[in-house]
Structure 1
Amino acid sequence: MPKPLDWPCCQIAVHVPDPQPDHAVIKWYPSSPRAVRVRVRDYTCACKPTFYELCQSGGQYFIRRTRRFRQKVVIEESLWNTQASVLAIWSSLLDGTGR
């Protein structure tokens, strides 16, 4: 029987690696409804308690972090910024140099 925090793996999305010892710390902010529509451009696998989505809205990009723990779901966002700036943060998540 699976534990309550086990979710099935989609086996098509990237899994976020463990952070490297000297990883950069990404500042996260509570999610707020800033836009009517948000497009998810990329995402990580949701089989872990924490997963990420690379989002775009109105020419701005940001990363949405969803954390599931103790029967709660907490959604946070990085700063909204230019595509180049947020893609650099996204890359750091995917290679373990940022968290």
Structure 2
Amino acid sequence: MLGHRIGASIVIVLSECFSPHVAPAQERYTQIGWRGAVDREDRVRVVAWTCDCRSTVYELCHAGGQAHTRRTSRKKAEPGIHETFRWTFNDADKLWAALLRGKAR
């Protein structure tokens, strides 16, 4: 976000992206076990997500007392939706943080 002063007012210019981007993969990153999407729950609450300006979007989901990460790829070469296994909220939060920092893929 950038800001500058015009007269007595401050004008704030927002970037087009409001959600975080996944950092580039680190040299040594953890390989996430992705599998096809599973319709196990009636309702899933998406509690965090990455910016949809990229061809791959990630979502941290809560459902049925557990959490998982969903990956949606809009790439022509590999389109589709994949998910991680279900985890405790704490473990899913750790994986989500590692994904955002480029320490997991």
TM-score, structure 1 as length reference: 0.86
Counterpart residue number, 1:3: none
Shift of residue 81 of structure 1?
1.1
The yes-or-no answer on 1:41 pairing with 2:40 is no
Runs of at least 4 residues off by over 6 Å: none
- Give the length in aligned residue pairs: 91
Cα deviation 1:35-70 (Å, max 9, x = unaligned): 110000000001111110000001110000001121
Counterpart residue number, 1:67: 73
The yes-or-no answer on 1:96 pairing with 2:67 is no
SS at match of 1:27: coil
Larger radius of gyration: 2
CA distance in 2, matches of 1:33, 1:40: 15
In structure 2, stretches of 5+ residues that fail to align are 1-14
Counterpart residue number, 2:9: none
In structure 1, stretches of 5+ residues that fail to align are 1-8
TM-score, structure 2 as length reference: 0.81
Q: C-alpha root-mean-square deviation of aligned residues, in Å?
A: 1.6
